[in-house]
Amino acid sequence: MPLHRSITVSAVALLLASAASMASAQDAQHIDPARLNAHIAALADDAMGGRGPTTPGEEAAVNYVADQFKAMGLEPAGDNGGWFQTVPINRFLQDGPAVLTAKAGGEALTFNRGTDIIVGSHRPVSRITLTDVPVVFVGYGVTAPERGWDDFKGVDVRGKIVLMLVNDPDFEVAPDSPVAGKFDGKGMTYYGRWVYKFEEAARRGAAGVLVIHETAGAGYPWTTLQNSSTAAGFDIVRENVEAERVQAQGWIQQPIAAKLMAAAGLDYATLKAQAQTADFHPVALNGVTMSMDFGLKYERLTTRNVAGKLTGTTRPNETVMFGAHWDAFGHATPNAAGDDIYNGAVDNASGVAGVLELARLFAAAPRTERSEIFVSWAAEEAGLLGAYYYAAHPLVPLETTVANINMDSLLPGGPSPEIVVIGYGKTDLQDRLARDAAREGRTLIADPAPQVGAFYRSDHFPLAKMGVPALFAAAGFTGASEASRIYVRDRYHQPTDAWEPGWDMTGAAADVQLLYDVGRDLATGTDWPKWTPGNEFEGVREASAASRK
């Protein structure tokens, strides 16, 4: 039988009332661990059904957040004066087998979907058919003018299938290479992410894109891709999908890519070495064409962001943002105990609890000169969809959004002397965090695993792409590393990510308190955080500088 972790609505109310009474004698400007626990308990309750988007669990979750915002005295900031922003999305499923073939050097090749190539589409059509399409190797597929890098060199790839290497051009180069540090070395940039590579292929008008899988560069084995390859895919509904999504996108095993290159008289290792130089030019695989034919089922659905705001006194059009995603995975594959509810207590009921506590503190304090907006994002686990939709349809102007402070997965446990900045060195927001942390005797450290690109995998990222400076911080690893490893191993994205009575949230409260201090400084100040010179998003932000005069 499944395990059940359910508490009644009255029990949640009692938890919050108890927290309020205990905090009544305390400074109202301090994050309360008991309130964090109460919100996590409510959002991770079995009654929420794992908070799956488009399910009854969504209805319960978004209404809970909206009710809390309303009770705190926030103003609704969603569509048409309400608490919600409707997010239209498409869900895609494979429909039948895929036929994947190539003609290479006079030889006919057939590939297995899943074993050799993993491919799908985010075009809302019932079938994708590409026939005898030319193939071009475009190196890492990067166009980064701020770093003096262009893998395309003006070569037209419209209507073609492009092969791209995973990660950044300097990921594996020697320390004395001319391009060492051109990107971030072992620290992946946006240009190294497969998401960027798919997008760049679409911008170039390619018919299809296949990223060449290598475990070191991807950060995970081929089996990770295989395990998720038959699951539903999601995307926001796009007004110009033909310009933003190629017809076919996916991954190809490195030995298969090398075989196609060899058929064109090319050597994979040589081409890869060339791609690690700034003077690389795209290379056509002469005599090689690929064909793809596969069916799709797609369905139009809607989910919702939740948004509340506090209007500033003198500069209300300048806004500090705080956000965390409300969704988890709903009902999914049962574990050995028969539990099929993926409650998402840490990921990310805890982050929503942090946003609710921040909203409570700001609402209880005198109004600031700038405004604050508090957003609980939809469908992060499906691909940051709520945040992507907001970035395309902002509720407040992005040009005058001062900063976006993100919370994603606050682990239970006591305070840590350190706090980790995910995306260390990308903005000057970390300088403000360092100053406030120092007052508490704490220090900042860089993300210990920058190669996995965590900065590009949470809800602040779609707005960062539009230029909004972001701060994403988490508890430090000294004293917390073992808890973090255990969580990832035993609970992350599993039914066991469940709330437990007695959780110690004092460490998380200390972390959120620092984010409050940074946010309040921004909301009462006049300056504008900046991206570090040379950052991939600096140019986008600077293009709107006139809006911040």
Give one DSSP letter per residue of 422-482, joined into a string.
TTTTSBTHHHHHHHHHHHTT-EEEE-S-GGG-GGGSSTHHHHHHTT--EEEEEE-STTTHH
pLDDT tens for each residue of the chain, 549 residues long = 334 455 544 455 555 555 555 555 455 789 999 999 999 999 999 999 999 999 999 999 999 999 999 999 999 999 999 999 999 999 999 999 999 999 998 899 999 999 999 999 999 999 999 999 999 999 999 999 999 999 999 999 999 999 999 999 999 999 999 999 999 888 889 999 999 999 999 999 999 999 999 999 998 899 989 888 888 899 999 999 999 999 999 999 999 999 999 999 999 999 999 999 999 999 999 999 999 999 999 999 999 999 999 999 999 999 999 999 999 999 888 888 888 899 999 999 999 999 999 999 999 999 999 999 999 999 999 999 999 999 999 999 999 999 999 999 898 999 889 999 999 999 999 999 999 999 999 999 988 888 888 899 999 999 999 999 999 998 754 444 667 777 778 878 888 899 999 999 999 999 999 999 999 999 999 999 999 999 999 999 999 999 998
Q: What is the chain's percent helix, strand, coil content, to nearest 5?
A: 35, 25, 40
> Could you give the residue ranges of the DSSP H alpha helices within 44-159?
56-72
- Domain 90-298 matching CATH 3.50.30.30: the answer reads yes
Q: Where are the domains of the chain?
A: 9-89+300-548, 90-298
Q: Determine the Cα–Cα distance for residues 463 and 470; give it in Å rounded to an integer.
A: 8
Residue 44 DSSP class: T
Give the helix/strand (H/E) hosting 236.
strand 233-236
Q: Which of 90, 161, 123 is nearest to 244 (CA)?
A: 123
Question: What architecture is the 9-89+300-548 domain classified under in CATH?
Answer: 3-Layer(aba) Sandwich (3.40)
246 Cβ neighbours under 8 A, 6+ residues apart: 121, 198, 201, 202, 206, 207, 208, 209
Q: Which of 107, 106, 171, 174 is nearest to 139 (CA)?
A: 171
- Confidence (pTM): 0.91
Residue 46 DSSP class: G
Q: Which of 389, 383, 382 is nearest to 239 (CA)?
A: 389
